[in-house]
Amino acid sequence: MGGTIKDPMGEVRDLSGSCTIEQLKAAVVAVKAARASQLHCAMHTTCTEPVTHIDSKGYAYCTGHGVARRVWCPCRKLRPHELRKLQRGETIKQY
């Protein structure tokens, strides 16, 4: 066995040498969990822009879609501390 893998923090880990199947499974689970916790724009599934806005229903949007969303639903820009909390998987208290 050998090769490399990126861990959830983006660091490249060497898998050559004494790497076990259990370690590989744990690495795959960690990467899947990190990907699942990433925020994505709720307007379109294909949107890859970073999340910057939230609407009154709790959906998160990128800048372009968040501004467009304001036409029919209250939507505001996230404050930096709110964005960090959401990225950690925590909730924010209010719209």
Quick one: 43 and 23 in the same domain? no
Residue with token string 């009154």: 56
Instruction: Name the percent of the chain lying above pLDDT 70.
Output: 74
For the cut 50, the answer to whether the pLDDT of residue 73 exceeds it is: yes
Whole-number pLDDT of residue 40 = 86
For the cut 70, the answer to whether the pLDDT of residue 15 exceeds it is: no
Q: What mean pLDDT is reported for the chain?
A: 80
For the cut 80, the answer to whether the pLDDT of residue 6 exceeds it is: no
- Note whether 37 and 29 are within 8 A (CB): no
Structural domain of residue 25, as residue ranges?
A: 4-36
Quick one: 44 and 90 in the same domain? yes
Quick one: 13 and 45 in the same domain? no
- 24-29 long-range Cβ contacts below 8 angstroms, 24+ apart: none
Local confidence band at 1 (pLDDT 50, 70, 90 cut-offs): very low
